Amino acid sequence: MSSEHTTDRTRDEQADQSTRDDRRRRFLDRRRFMLATGTAATVALAGCAGEEEADDDGESDDDADGDPEPGDREYLEEKFPGLLIHSADPENAEAAERETYTEYITPSEEHYIRNHYLAPRIDEDEWEISLGGLVDEETELTMAELREEFSTETVTHVMQCSGNGRSYFDPEIGGNPWIYGAVGNAEWTGAPLSEVLEEYGADTSDGMWVMFAGDDHPEGERVFARSIPMQKVMEDCILAYEMNGEEMTAEHGHPVRVVVPGWYGNNNVKWLSEIEVMERMMMGDDEELFFEEYETDDYENYLHWQHNSYRILAEGQESIRVESIDEFDTREQMDMEDSGEMEVPPYIYDQTVKSLIGYPGIDDTVSPRDEDGMIEVIGVAWAGDDEVTEVEISDDGGETWENAEFFGEDNGPYAWRQFRYMWDPEEPGDYTLVSRATDEHGRSQPRDISDIDDGQITVEDDSFPYEMGGYCLNAYEPHGVDVTVEE
C-alpha cells in the first residue's frame, strides 16, 4: 500500500467492524454534524493522515489593509458563497447545499474547487502554452491566438472530483473529505483541441497520447500533468477560457484549462502551460519528448498524478505504470481487471453513473405541496460520456423503486439530466429517499460500499469496492437524504 493511501485504523480494528447499517448511520451522523457546524475540514484533519493535505489553520493572514487575500478563508467565502470550505490554501471547497442539484447549470459560486496548490494569478497577455512532441511545428500558443485563430465551442460538462463521496468510506481515507458536493455542471467555452493539433501538424492517429501539464506547482514540486488518449482529445476536448459565459476565475484555471467532457475532474488540467503529443502515456524515460528547459531528473514530478494517484486500488494493490491502455471507461476497466482482461489497476478517466437528489435536502422537513398530498423530488443524474437512461427513487431503503422522469435541457451525455418524481408518502414521518441512475449500458448505481477486507475490485453483490483512494464512489445508499414529512 502506498503512503498516500494511508488509513487511520489498524487491521484489527477493521475486523471488529460493525454491520453496514451501523456504518451507514455513522456516515449520516457525521455528515449532519459537518453540515450543521461547517467544520468538515477540522473533523477530517483530526481523523486523517491525508495525502497532500491542506495546510489551513483557519486563521486569516490578511494583508496590511486587512483585506482578505487568496489563501485566506474569508477571501474564498466572499468569492464563492455557495461553498463549504475544506481548506483555503490551497482552495478545496464543495457545494454546501443539496439545492445546488436542483438547477441545470451550476453557478460558478457553487461549483466545487479542487486545487493541489494555491491557484496561481496569471496575466493572460503574458501567457504562452508550449506545444511540442510529435508535431510538424513546435510552437508557443498565446491566448490571443486561441481566442482569435480557432473556432469557439461551448460544451456543458459535468465535472466531478474523482474523490467526491470519499467521506462515506469506512475506514476513513486521507485526502479531501468530500461529502457529495464535489460535482457541478457548467458551460465551458474555448478552442477545440482538434483544430489546434491539426494546425501544427500533430500526429493525431488513434493510440497516440497527449500530455497536458499545469503551471501551479511551486519550484521543484510535483507538476499536475495528465496523459489523455488522442481519440478523446480529437473527439471533443477544448482549451477553455470561459466558464458559464464569463472569464474563468483564477481558482477554476484562468487563463486556460483543458476540458475533457464527461471525464473526472482530475483530467481537466488548469493553468495549462504544456501540451506534448506522444506515442504513449508519459513515462519519464523519453527525454526528447519533454522540453529542454525541464530537468531530466525531475520527470518523476510529472508522473505522480498520472500513474500513482488517480488509480483504482484495492487494499495491497500497487499502481503499476503502463505505456498505454485502450479502454477509458473507468467502470469498464474495473470489470476488465476483475475478469483478467486488464492486468493493471484502472486509470481514472470516464465517470461512473451517478445521481443526486437536490430537493428535499438532507434533514429537511417537508409538507405535501399539492392537494393530492404529493411532494416533488428533484435531482440530477449523469454517466460521464455515456448517456443516463433511467432514474429510480425509493423511499424504503431500496426495497421498492419508482421511475422518475427527466425534464429540462438535454445537451447530450456530457451534461447531466434533471429528474423529477412526484412522491406520495404513505403517512407523515421520517423517510430516507435514495435515487438510482442507470446508464445506456445497463449499469446502475450499486447500493453500498464493500468491506475493505473483501478485496473486491469491481462492482459486485450490489456494492462498490472499497477503494484505497476513495475514488469514483457512486453507491446510492450513502448519498440518500433523510427527510421528515409533516401532516
Ligand X SMILES: Nc1nc2c(c(=O)[nH]1)N[C@H]1C(S)=C(S)[C@@H](COP(=O)(O)O)O[C@H]1N2
Among 87, 244, 266, 309, binds Mo ion (CB under 5 A): 266
Q: Which residues contact 59 (CB under 8 A, 6 or more apart)?
A: none
Give the C-alpha separation, 152 to 195, whole Å.
Answer: 11
For residue 146, the one-letter residue type is: L
Binding-site string for Mo ion from residue 98 to residue 137, where x marks contact by CB under 5 A and - marks none:
----------------x-----------------------
State which of positions 2-21 bind ligand X (CB under 6 A). Answer: none
Near ligand X by CB under 6 A, which window of 40-48, 106-114, 121-129, 381-389? 106-114
Quick one: 71 or 265, whose CB is closer to Mo ion?
265
First to last CA, the chain: 52
State which of positions 148-207 bind Mo ion (CB under 5 A). Answer: 161
Phi-psi category of residue 98: left, alpha or beta, with phi > 0 → left and psi -120 to 50 → alpha? alpha
Nearest CA to 415 out of 161, 103, 158 is that of 158
Q: Which residues contact 181 (CB under 8 A, 6 or more apart)?
A: 83, 84, 94, 95, 96, 100, 112, 164
Count interface residues toward ligand X (CB under 6 A). Answer: 18
* From the list ligand X, Mo ion, none, partner contacted by residue 159 (C-beta under 5 to 8 A by kind): ligand X
Phi-psi category of residue 123: left, alpha or beta, with phi > 0 → left and psi -120 to 50 → alpha? beta
Among 150, 224, 464, 466, binds ligand X (CB under 6 A): 224
Residue that is written with C-alpha cell 464563492 in the block: 80
Q: Does 458 bind ligand X (CB under 6 A)?
A: no
State which of positions 158-187 bind ligand X (CB under 6 A). Answer: 159, 161
Quick one: 282 or 375, whose CB is closer to ligand X?
282
Residue that is written with C-alpha cell 498524478 in the block: 305
Among 28, 158, 269, 483, binds ligand X (CB under 6 A): 269
Give the C-alpha separation, 98 to 67, whole Å.
Answer: 31
Q: Does 216 bind ligand X (CB under 6 A)?
A: yes
CB of 339 to ligand X, least distance (A): 29
Quick one: 190 or 469, whose CB is closer to Mo ion?
469
Task: For the chain, give the longest Cα–Cα distance.
Answer: 71
Among 174, 184, 265, 384, binds Mo ion (CB under 5 A): 265
Near ligand X by CB under 6 A, which window of 111-119, 171-179, 199-207, 417-425? 111-119
CB of 101 to ligand X, least distance (A): 15
Helix (H, G, I), strand (E, B) or coil at 463: strand
Nearest CA to 307 out of 289, 323, 330 is that of 323
Give the C-alpha separation, 186 to 415, whole Å.
Answer: 8
Quick one: 164 or 204, whose CB is closer to Mo ion?
164
Instruction: Output the nine-digit C-alpha cell for 204.
Output: 493525431
Count interface residues toward Mo ion (CB under 5 A). Answer: 4
Give the C-alpha separation, 35 to 47, whole Å.
Answer: 17
CB of 372 to Mo ion, least distance (A): 43
Quick one: 271 or 431, whose CB is closer to ligand X?
271
Helices (H), 96-148: 143-148
Which spans of this chain sit near ligand X (rule: CB under 6 A)?
111-116, 159, 161, 214, 216, 224, 252, 265-266, 268-271
Which spans of this chain sit near Mo ion (rule: CB under 5 A)?
114, 161, 265-266
